[in-house]
Chains A and B, each alone.
Chain A
C-alpha cells in the first residue's frame, strides 16, 4: 500500500493542530 501523501500542506498543518497529530513533510524531487 503506497503512502497517501497530501500536497495541501496548509490544510495538513491545520488538521494536525486539530487532531494533535505529528506531520511528516517530504521535500521531494523524485519522479512522481
Chain B
C-alpha cells in the first residue's frame, strides 16, 4: 500500500509522516500505542497540529481504499476545526474520485452534515438522505441518513 505513488504523494504533501515499529522502535511503540490506545498493527492515526487524533485506520487496505481513508481523515480534521467549506469540498472529492470505496459512503454522509453545521439549514441533510436512496443503500451511512428524509 505504501509504495503506491498516489498514496506516497498524498502523504508527503499533506502530513508529517511518522512511524513507530513494534520491533525496531519498542519503547516509542509502547508509549504511543498506550497514549493513543492503538494496540494493533497496522494502525494509522491522523493527528492535528496539536497531536489530537481525528481519524483512525486499522488493518490493511488496498491502495485506493487507503488513499480514500487518508483523504477522509484530512476532511475530518477540517470538519473538526470548523473549516466548513474546505471540509465539504474534501468530503465530496472522495465521493467523486473514489466512489467504489467504503470511505465514499461515509464521505457522502459528512458532506451532507457539513453545510448544515455551517448554516443551520437542514436542506443538505434532506438532499443527502435522498442521495442515499440512489447509492450506497446497503451501508450503515444510508441508515444513519435515513432519518433526515
**Interface, chain A (partner B; CB < 8 A):** 1-9, 12-13, 15-17, 19-30, 32
Contact = CB atoms under 8 A, between A and B. Distances in A.
Given A3-B17, A9-B18, A27 B44 contact: yes
B119 interface: no
29 contacts: A1-B8, A3-B8, A4-B12, A4-B17, A6-B19, A7-B18, A9-B32, A15-B16, A16-B16, A16-B47, A16-B51, A17-B50, A22-B47, A22-B48, A22-B77, A23-B16, A23-B17, A23-B45, A23-B46, A24-B44, A25-B32, A26-B18, A26-B20, A26-B42, A27-B29, A27-B40, A27-B44, A27-B45, A32-B21
B33 interface: yes
Interface of B: 2-3, 5, 8, 11-12, 14-25, 28-29, 32-33, 36, 38, 40-51, 70, 74, 77
